[in-house]
Structure 1
Amino acid sequence: MEKLTLLTLSSLRPEKHGNITWTTLFDEDDLPWVDYFFVDVRNLLVQSVKVPEKIPLPELKWSWDLEFCIIYCYLYSFRLTSANTTMTGQQQTTSVNEVTPTTFKNTFRAPSFVWDSPEFKFEFSDGYETYTYKDVRLSINNLRLDTTFDYEYVPGLGIQISNLDIVFRLLSLRIVVRDIKESYGEVIIEFPPLITDWTVPLLSGWVANKREYEDSLEFRINCVLSQSQVDPERCEAGLVTEKYNKMNVVQLFETIVLGSLER
C-alpha cells in the first residue's frame, strides 16, 4: 500500500515529487502493474457484482507516516479517507467458463464500471506544504479478458497447466480527481481537475510484457498446484514466495477457475 501511495503521489505531481515508476519501487522482474490489473482489478469487479448499485460502501480510513533523514529529518504524512462511495455498472460484469477434459477457457467482460467517491480525500504533507486531492471517480469501459490454457495430470505433481494465453482489451480506464488544493501556511492554491487516462499505458505495456507475464503466471500457477514440486528450488527461491504474492494466484483461481459469477 505504501509503495502504491508513493507511485500515486508521483503520478499526480511528477514535477514536484519526482518521476517514480513501477521499476523504481519494485524489482524489474515483478511486473506488478500487470498483476494489479489482471488479478486485483478483476477480483474487484467480481466481488462488486455482489454489491447493489448506488448503495454507499463502508467508510475507509488509512494513514501512514514516513520519516526520511539524510542531514536533516523530514516527516511525510499521508492520510486517506473515503465515505459515501458508490459503484454503478458492476451488475453488467460477466464471467463464463468453458471446460473440457483437457482445456479451460474463461471469458470475462466488464462493459461499464464506475467507482465514485465524492467524499474521498487523500492528503499529503511534508511539514511545509500540504496537498489535498478530493472527490475521485474511476471509470472502466469495455474491459475484456479471455484466458485459455491446457491442463493434464502429471504423476508426482498433480494437475499442471500449459499454453496459457490471455487476450486483454480495453476501451478506456480513467481516473478523475475533481478537487485539488495545495496549501502553504495561509496560502491556498487551487488546481483544475486532474484527468488521468491509463488506457494507452496499459495496452502498450501489455503488448510489451504479454509473453513474459504469461510464462511467469503459468509457472506460478504450476508452483501452487504442485506445492512447489514442479521446480522446488525455483518455486521457493523467490519467484513465487517473495517476488510475487502467492495470494494473487489463489485469487485468480477464485475468480476464473472455481466457476462463473454468482449473483
Structure 2
Amino acid sequence: MGRDPARPVTTLADFRPFIHPEDVDRATDVNERAADLLARGDDYSIIFRSMRPDGEIRWLRSLAAVEHRDGVPTRAVGYVADITDSMRAELALREANRELLQEKVSLALEVLKDPLTGIANRRHLDAELPRLDAHSRAHGQGLCIALVDIDHFKQYNDLYGHPAGDAALRRVAAALRDTARHSDLVARYGGEEFAVVLPDTPDPVPLMEKFMAAIEALAIPHGGSPTGRLTISCGAIAALRTPLTMPQLFKAADEALYEAKAGGRNRYVVRSAVER
C-alpha cells in the first residue's frame, strides 16, 4: 500500500485513509460483515482499491478465516494480496468486449439503414412489418401503409444531374422522417419511392396533408415539373380489423399511389379496408 511498515495500523480509523473513497465504507464495515460471515460460517473475502501516498490506485483482495476456540470465534487471520495486474487485464477485456458489442450493434444498425438517405432501408422495413402487423391486430388498432413517390424524378436527374438528385432524395427523406410521428416507420422503398407505416392510424389524411406541406416547404426548384418545384404523390391504405395481409395492403397502397399519379400528381389518395 506504499505505507511505512514501522507505523502499524491498529484501528479502522487509521486504515480508512488507505482505501479508495468509493470503497472505504464497504471495506471497513467490519461489525456487520463479521456478523454475517459468522451466521453463514463463511470466510471473509473482499476486493477493494487502495490509494497509495503517490496517488496510484491499486486493486487488493483481502482474505481471512475465522478462528474458533471451544466453538467460540476469537479472531480472524488473513492477508491482503495485490491483484492490480489481473484486475487491469480483466477490466481491459471487459472494455474490449464492450467496444466489440457496440461495434456489432453499430454494424447491425448500419445494415438496416439506407446509405444514401440515412432512414430505414427495405430490409429494416421487411423485418418490422410482421411485428407492427401483429401489434395492430392484437390491440384492434388501425394500421396505415403509405407509399410516397417523388414526381417527375427522372426528369429532375436529367436536368440537374445525379448528385443533385441524391441531395433531393436526402432532403425529401429527412422531411418525411421529421414530419412522421415517433411511432411511425419511414423507409426508402426503392429508387425515389418511400414507404411509411403508420400504426394506430384509422384516418391518415391529416398526416398526408403534413407530408405534402413538408415537401412543399422545401421549395426545391424543378424545371421539368408543371409546378416548377419538386413535389410528391402519396397513396395510402388505412386498415382496421381487416383480414388483408401485408402484401395485400402494400398492393392497395400502390394502387392508391397510381391513382394519385394518374390524377395529375402532387396529391394523395387514401383508401380504407374495414372488415365487414
TM value normalised by structure 1: 0.23
The structure where helix makes up a greater share of residues is 2
Superposition TM-score, scaled by structure 2 size: 0.22
Comparing both structures, which one devotes a greater share of its residues to strand?
Answer: 1
Q: Which structure's CA Rg is the greater one? A: 2
